[in-house]
Amino acid sequence: MTPDALVALLDYHYWARDRLLDAVERITPEQFREDLANSFPSIRDTLVHLVSAEWAWCQRWRGESPRQPLGLTGLGTLEDIRTRWMREERRVRRFVGGLGPDGINGVFRYTLLDGAAGSSVYWQSVQHVVNHASYHRGQVVTMLRQLGAQAPESQDLAAFHRR
């Protein structure tokens, strides 16, 4: 993995995020919070999980190990989530951009939310963040369809590269 390839992967990640959030913007607040019996009950809860996971990984990269995910407080609306996620994007990009060719191959140690010890290679954990988000974005698309809402434009990596 090269630093440029890692930045391109983040470019894809945030491009796909924006497409998803734009689609979610078209549903009602009630639909946003409706329990659809998924991994996380609602679209809101799924998006909060994504922001929280990204925040937790960035904290770990910076040498801190959060013991709890972000709560729902302050993330009640789509605009709240979008604003927070964009702030996390800036932190992630700043950190990853500062790693350099040798740094992306470094190993960092951290504590998982359950207290277990962990260690990862930086570039692999960034890939994980992007892959994890892809999984949950797919769930949100399914929930949008369950609600009868319009799905977002394609979020495929190939579509990103063709743009």
pLDDT for 21 beyond 80: yes
Instruction: Give how many domains the chain has, as a whole number.
Output: 1
Residue 111 phi, psi dihedral angles, 5° rounding:
-115, 130
Query: What's the CATH code of the domain at 140?
Result: 1.20.120.450
pLDDT at 72: 77
Residue 48 belongs to what domain range? 3-162
pLDDT in tens, 70-120: 877 889 999 999 999 999 999 999 999 999 999 999 999 999 999 999 999
Q: Is 64 in a helix, a strand, or coil?
A: coil
